Chains A and B, each alone.
Chain A
Amino acid sequence: MKKVSASKVIIYLILIIWAVTTIFPFLWILNNSFKPSAEVLRSSFLLPQEFTLENYQTAFGRLNVLNAYKQSFLISGTVTVGVMVLSSMMAFGLSRYRFKGKKFVHSLIVASLMFPVFATIIPVYRMIVSWGLLSKNIAVILPQIAGNLSFATIVMLGFIQSISVEMEEAAYMEGANVFRVFGQIIVPLCRPSLATVAIFSFLWSYNDLFVQKVMMRDNTKYPVCRLLEEISSQYGTDFGLMAASVTIIVVPVMIVYILLQKNIIKGLTAGAIKG
C-alpha cells in the first residue's frame, strides 16, 4: 500500500505543477494590472504597494474597451446565429432527403474543412472592398460564417442522422408539413448539438484576430482582439495598462468558462473525437 501512495503523490505533484503553470501567468497579470507601470518593472511578483485603478480607467476611457466588447458581441453573436441556422438547415436537408448529387455535396462540405482562411481571404477581401463594406461589421461576419459553416454542418449532420424518423412521420400523419417538422421536432431535439455549434462558432469568431485585422480598418470600430493588438503595438511599454487590458479581456471569458466549462470543453473538442 505504501508504494502505491508514493506513486500517487508523484502523480499529483506533476499535475499540480502543470496546473500552476496554467494558472500562474494569469494571476501574475491580474496582480500587476493594479500597479502603476513603474512598480511592475520593479517588483512584479509582490502584491501591489500602490494599489491603483488608473490602468483600468485608461483602458475603459481612452481606449474604449467597452466599445470593442460591443463590437465583438455584435459580430460574434451574428456569426453564431447565422451558423446555427444555416448548418442545421443544411444538415436536415442532407440527412432526410435522397437526391442526386448528395454524395457530391457532402464531400464538398468535407473538402472545405481543408481550406485555411489564408486561401480565401484575398478574393473575399476584394469582394468586400468592391461592395464598399470594408470596416463594417458585416465584413467580418460573412467570411466567419462561411468559415465555421462546414464544420458545424458536419457536427449537426452526425446528430440529426441519429434521430429516428418515426416521430417525424407521425407528425406528418397529423398534418404537419416539413417546415413545422423541422422547427418543432428537429430543432428542439438538436439542442445539445446546437449548443456545441454555438459555443465553438462564438469562441472561434471572438478569438480570431486574422479576419478582424484584414477587414476592420477603422479604429473606432475595432473588436476585442484587434483592439488588443493595437494596444500591444502602441502601448507595449506601459506594463500596467497592458496587464489591465489582458485582464479585461480574460475575465469575462473566464466567468463564462467556469459556468459552462463542461459544455465548452465538449463543444471545442467535438468532432475531433469522432474524427
Chain B
Amino acid sequence: MLYRKKWPLLIFLVPGLLFMLMFLYLPFVENIKNSFYDMNAVVKMPGTEWDFIGLENYKKLFTDTDVRVALINSLKMMIVTVIFEVGIAFVLAVLVSQIKRGQQLFRTVFFFPVVISATAIGLMFSLFYNYNGGMLNQILAYFGKDPVLWLSPERAFTMLAIPTVWSYIGFYFVILLTGLSDIPDDIYEAAAIDGCGKFKQVFYITLPMMKTVFFTSVTLAVTGALKVFDLPWVIAPNGAPQGLTHFLGTYMYQQTYGLNNYDYGSTLAVLIVILGVAVSRCIGFLTEEKDEKSKRK
C-alpha cells in the first residue's frame, strides 16, 4: 500500500543514478570512443576536431615494448598475489583457528597494514630499500656484507611485490578466517573419530568446504593486482629503473598525464578493463569446471 504511489521512487533513485551516469557510465563509454581518436588535447579547442584513427592505438599496443613489460608485470603480480597473499593468509587463518587465546589480538595486528594507505607503505619501504643507509643495507653492513642495490632491474619487481603482498595479507586472512569459522565443528569431530588427523582434515574438509570463499578471495586478489598504482608509483616512480617496474595502471598514468598522450592512455584503460573481465571470467570458469567434476564423482 505504502509503495503503490510510484513518484517518490524517482526522488530516491534519480540522484544516485544521475551521479553514476555522469561519472561512471558516460565516461566509460567516452573513454572507449576516445581510444579510436587522435586527441591533441584533453579538452577540444573550439573549432578543432580530433582525427579518427580507428585501431591505430590498438595496433600500437602490439609493437610497444613498454606495454609488454607492464602487461607481464601485471600478470606476474596477479600470480604472486594469488599464491602468496591468499596462500599465506590461508596458512595464518588455519593456524589462528586452532588456538583459543589471542585470536582477536592476532586479527587486529594482522589487519593493521590494510588500513594504512599504500602511499605511506610505499614511503616506508623506500626507506628500507635505499642504497645509501637504507634499513636492509644497514643490516648487511652489520654482518660485514656489501650493500645491495635493491631496486636494480633484476630485483625491482620482487621488491615491489613484497610490500604489495605484505600489506594485504591481513585482508584475506580475515575473509578466510570468517569462512573457516562457518564450517560446523561436528564435521571435524566426526572426522577425528574416524581417525582423520589434523593435517588431513585441512585437505579433506577445510579446503573443499571453503571453495566459495577461496573463489571470492582469488577474484578480489586478481582484480586488486590489476589496480595497483599507489605503491609502485611511490617506490619506483615512472617505472624506474628504465620502465621495468611499470604496471598497466602506472603505465597508463604516465602515458596520459606524463606524456599527454590521452588517446593512448584511453586505449590502455580499455586494455585494463578487458583483462579484468577476462581474468575474472577465467576464474569463474575454472571453479565451475571443478564443481562439475566433483559432482560427477
Contact = CB atoms under 8 A, between A and B. Distances in A.
A12 B120 contact: no
A90 B16 contact: yes
A163 interface: no
Interface string A251-266: 0011001100100110
A210 interface: yes
A169 B230 contact: no
Contacts of B277: 114
Contacts of A155: none
Contacts of A154: none
Given A19-B109, A93-B9, A232-B126, A121 B92 contact: no
B166 to A, nearest CB: 7
Contacts of B114: 268
Nearest to A260: B115
Give the most central of A108, A237, A269: most B CB within 10 Å. A269
Interface residues of B, number: 99
Residue from the set B116, B227, B234, B256 with the largest chain A CB neighbour count within 10 Å: B116
A122 B31 contact: yes
A122 B43 CA distance: 10
A242 B8 CA distance: 53
A90 B229 CA distance: 31
Given A97-B9, A269-B174, A273-B216, A112 B25 contact: yes
A246 interface: yes
A78 interface: no
B133 A40 contact: yes
B227 A116 contact: yes
A90 B198 CA distance: 47
Interface in A40-87: 40-45, 86-87
B109 A245 contact: no
A206 interface: yes
Contacts of A25: 124, 128
Interface in A176-203: 178-179, 181-182, 203
A264 B269 contact: no
A115 B248 CA distance: 15
A11 B24 contact: no
A11 B95 contact: yes
Interface string A202-225: 010011111001100000000011
Interface string A75-112: 00000000000110110111011110000010011001
A161 B276 CA distance: 30
Given A29-B124, A178-B8, A122 B256 contact: yes
B158 interface: no
A236 interface: yes
Interface of A is mostly: helix
B175 A28 contact: no
Contact of A210 (B111, B213, B229): B229
Contacts of B106: 15, 19
Nearest to A14: B95
Nearest to B109: A19
B127 A89 contact: no
B42 interface: yes
B109 A179 contact: no
Interface string A232-256: 1100110100110110011001100
Contact of A112 (B24, B95, B132, B265): B24
Contacts of B156: none
A146 B15 contact: no
A1 to B, nearest CB: 15
B42 A210 contact: no
A17 B43 CA distance: 53
Interface string A145-167: 11101100100000000000100
B120 to A, nearest CB: 5
Contacts of B178: 269, 273
Contacts of B253: 118, 210, 213-214
Nearest to A264: B115
A143 B23 contact: yes
Given A87-B16, A214-B257, A246-B124, A169 B95 contact: no
B241 interface: no
Contact of B213 (A109, A126, A225, A273): A273
Given A115-B28, A116-B276, A253-B116, A125 B138 contact: no
The 9 closest A-B pairs by CB, nearest first: A93-B12, A146-B23, A41-B133, A123-B27, A207-B117, A90-B16, A120-B27, A172-B2, A123-B30
Given A89-B16, A168-B2, A237-B132, 15 more contacts: A12-B99, A115-B273, A121-B27, A121-B269, A129-B42, A145-B19, A209-B233, A231-B123, A232-B123, A237-B130, A239-B127, A243-B127, A246-B124, A258-B108, A264-B111
7 contacts: A12-B99, A32-B127, A203-B115, A207-B230, A214-B257, A264-B111, A273-B179
